[in-house]
Amino acid sequence: MPKLPPLPVRKGVGPTRLRIPAATRGTIIEHLRARFGHLPDDALTQRLADGEIVDHAGAPITATTPAADHEFIWYYRSVPNETHIPFDITVLHADEHLVVADKPHFLPTTPGGQFVQETALVRLRNQLDIPELVPLHRLDRATAGILLFSPNPETRGAYQQLFEHRQVTRRYQAVVRIPSPAQLYLDRFPLTFRNRIIKTKGIITAEVEAYATADSGRIEAPRVGKRRRSHDPTTGPNASTEIALVKHRIADDGGALAHVALSPKTGRTHQLRIHLASLGHGILHDRFYPELLDHAPDDYAAPLQLLASGLGFTDPLTGQPREFTSTRTLDFAP
């Protein structure tokens, strides 16, 4: 069983572990100043004085602690002047084993980058007073809808295995643009779209990788349990989504605005956004696909029109079917 962090959850935020490279010279505080040059010097000094930077055993790091003395340190992340996201997260269900929330657009699932307090996880930890709460899966910051959390470490693994073994049925909705002539494209629904998606660490968007026609029928098997992934190269599609038309409205230019239902059979990064963009039906207000737009402040009047509308599974503790449905809607749906 992994060791617990040496610092407790504080204001809904757990401590972050930072690795100190073995070749680092000087003191730990000198390393931190060089690595986090954007932080005011007095901010690091104050954290040291408050005992908020500690070693693996919880002993405070001092201004003179040599970097060579420790492989890891722990500290609390914080963001100065963090932007408030003006939308509430709704709790749809809560018991001793499961918390189900309805996340708004623009709210991240977990802390990262410029968001710490303004995340679904931290808001719910504070709102419900459950410091042990952790997410069982994630949604993109731009996507709204159903999110599951575990408040109980004793039963957490049973629910995590549902996602690992692909035993959770997910339903999404999206609003897309259909080019002219719209009817030509609308007639092909329902359909199943498959391709191969590759995500490279450090690159914000995922990429589509080509494969031979002979490999088009092969779908990679999911990783089960603790079985190690093979390092042998794989071929063929690794992402599959069923897409159905719900409603549409023909526009003056001969195109259309369409409301579609999505049933992903796999869970690749940005899968739904990539699949719809690859069909020529990009999701309304998508700033990543089919073209990555320049970074801009959030436009709360134009949220990405993608909603995790429902989620279902057989409860591993009771054996009973469970179904949760979002109360949110897509503002631009026809």
The DSSP line for 125-178 is HHHHT-TT-EESS---TT-EEEEEEE--TTTHHHHHHHHHTT--EEEEEEEEEE
- Per-residue pLDDT of 256-265, as tens digits, reads 999 999 999 9
Q: What is the pLDDT of residue 5?
A: 87
Domain locations in the chain?
Answer: 16-75, 90-168, 169-214+234-325
- Per-residue pLDDT of 142-185, as tens digits, reads 999 999 999 999 999 999 999 999 999 999 999 999 999 999 99
Percentage of the residues of the chain whose pLDDT score is greater than 70:
94
Name the H helices within the chain. Answer: 28-35, 41-49, 120-128, 156-164, 182-186, 271-278
Residue 49 DSSP class: H
Q: What is the pLDDT of residue 76?
A: 86
Helices (H) and strands (E) in the chain, counts: 6, 15
Query: Which residues partner with 248 through β-bridges?
Result: 258
Q: What is the pLDDT of residue 321?
A: 98
Domain 169-214+234-325: give its CATH code.
Answer: 3.30.2350.10
Q: Does residue 80 have a cis bond before it (omega within 30 degrees)? A: no
Spell out the per-residue pLDDT of the chain, length 334, in tens: 456 788 889 889 888 899 999 889 999 989 988 888 877 778 888 888 888 899 998 999 998 999 998 999 998 888 878 999 999 999 999 999 999 999 999 999 999 888 999 999 999 999 999 999 999 999 999 999 999 999 999 999 999 999 999 999 999 999 999 999 999 999 999 999 999 999 998 899 999 999 888 877 766 655 555 555 555 557 789 999 999 999 999 999 999 999 999 999 999 999 999 999 999 999 999 999 999 999 999 999 999 999 999 999 999 999 999 999 999 999 999 9
Q: What is the pLDDT of residue 1?
A: 46
CA-wise closest residue to 79 among 118, 108, 30, 132: 118
CA-wise closest residue to 287 among 269, 305, 275: 305
Tokens of 314: 């057989």
- pTM value? 0.88
Q: What is the pLDDT of residue 36?
A: 83
Q: What is the pLDDT of residue 23?
A: 87
Asked whether this chain's domains 90-168 and 169-214+234-325 adopt the same fold, the reply is no
Residues 3/17, Cβ–Cβ less than 8 Å: no
Name 171's Cβ contacts closer than 8 Å, sequence gap at least 6.
261, 262, 263, 308, 309, 310, 311, 312
268: left (phi over 0), alpha (psi -120 to 50) or beta: beta
User: Which residue in this structure is represented by tokens 């995590």?
Assistant: 160
Is residue 41 classed as helix, strand or coil in its secondary structure? helix
User: With respect to CATH, is domain 90-168 assigned 3.30.70.580?
Assistant: yes
Taking each helix axis from N to C end, the angle separating 28-35 and 41-49, rounded to the nearest 10 degrees, works out to: 140
